[in-house]
Amino acid sequence: MKKFIGLLFIPVLALFSFFGCSKDKSAENIKTQYTSTIRKYYDDDIEKNIFFADDTNENTVKIYYPSSIQARIDITNPTNNMQKMYRGLYYQQVVLDKIYKYYEMTQEDFYTKMSSKGSDKSIGELSTQLERLDRVLDEFKVSYNNFLDNQEMEFNVTSYSFALNKVIDVSFDFIYNYIRLYEKNCRSTTGVYTSDTLQIDLYKSYVDVAFIVYKENIKAFTYSVGENGICDLSPVVKSSSTFNILDKLLGSCTLSLDIANGLNNADNAETLDKVNNYYYFKSVFEQRLVNYKQIYAEQDIYTITRYRFNLVNGVDYDNYLNSLSISQRSNVTMLDDFVANNFNDYYNKISAIVA
């Protein structure tokens, strides 16, 4: 009987070993996986990334059609709906740019330090997220190809934009996990500010800025559900609504020379004051963000956004808020308050230290 029970344990042990080991990924594996995944952003035929940024002119969106036709759309001052839609695409691309900028700037340090630690289970999750990103990029490429096949530019941009949102969602999951690992394993704990660490934290801040702008101004607009959904970004692009924070995406990512030099001079109280303020409000923002995410997930953000941007005839935002119960109203007000105060305070403190 004992032998029989002992025999039963062998396959169980084997299963444990198999699943346990398979999750151990080395940093080198992740690096390779990332490179092959990110390669999907590129179109081999044109040797360009599949987004529509124009390398030569940032004010235009450039589309390469398979028939070697190139289309350029000026998005500087969008006046018609099509230009506004493409301006929306441009903002989505900026969001992705902010996300991957952090990765690009830290990857070398990350892989060097993580490799020296050997295989680590904690980075297994990164691998899973990259697998998800890989799948979403495959889906996205279908939208991309459909977009190019069907040359009705205005008609097709909505589904393309919606597919791009899925890529952005998965990219945020990936980058926030990556940031958590990077800060846990690769950051010095001396607490002394240097221009290098400050610059990396700034990249993190721009991921945060992109996250809030995406949640508030992009995601809800490009969410499409039948006739009731908000189909494209044209209502928010160039709108004068106080809820429009798209311009926050276009900020610089570079630490100003004054602040960088000031850090080396211990007597420079003004620099330290600005840097301390930045770090303090970064902490406040990160604390409140947890609550924002929780409430955001519980609210019907698509309905809220429609009222915020006056897309519902006859009912303005204040009337909409008054129609809610007090507790619901408090929750929605908290979302607005988070952006108007915590996010804005954070952004203002960033602005004080960048060039």
Q: Contact residues for another protein (CB under 8 A)?
A: 273, 276-277, 280-281, 283-284, 287, 290-291, 294-295, 325-327, 329-331, 333-334, 337, 341-342, 345
Nearer to another protein, 253 or 353 (CB): 353
Three-state DSSP class for 77?
coil
Q: In angstroms, rounded to a whole number, what is the distance separating the alpha carbons of residues 203 and 255? A: 10
Question: Least distance to another protein from the beta carbon of 259, Å?
Answer: 15
Answer for the pair 270, 277: CB distance below 8 angstroms, yes or no. Answer: no
Q: In angstroms, rounded to a whole number, what is the distance separating the alpha carbons of residues 255 and 133? A: 31
Nearer to another protein, 112 or 276 (CB): 276
Question: Least distance to another protein from the beta carbon of 191, Å?
Answer: 14
Answer for the pair 198, 255: CB distance below 8 angstroms, yes or no. Answer: yes
Question: Least distance to another protein from the beta carbon of 337, Å?
Answer: 7
Q: Measuring CA to CA, which residue among 106, 172, 166, 176 is closest to residue 140?
A: 166
Q: CB-based contacts of 316: which residues, under 8 Å, 6+ apart?
A: 307, 310
Nearer to another protein, 70 or 330 (CB): 330
Q: CB-based contacts of 281: which residues, under 8 Å, 6+ apart?
A: 342, 345, 346, 349
Nearer to another protein, 34 or 285 (CB): 285
Q: In angstroms, rounded to a whole number, what is the distance separating the alpha carbons of residues 100 and 122? A: 21
Nearer to another protein, 50 or 321 (CB): 321
Answer for the pair 88, 237: CB distance below 8 angstroms, yes or no. Answer: yes
Question: Least distance to another protein from the beta carbon of 232, Å?
Answer: 31
Question: Least distance to another protein from the beta carbon of 128, Å?
Answer: 25
Question: Least distance to another protein from the beta carbon of 273, Å?
Answer: 6
- Tokens 């940032």 found at: 58
Nearer to another protein, 161 or 244 (CB): 244
Question: Least distance to another protein from the beta carbon of 317, Å?
Answer: 17
Nearer to another protein, 309 or 346 (CB): 346
CA angle 97, 258, 99 (to 5 degrees): 10
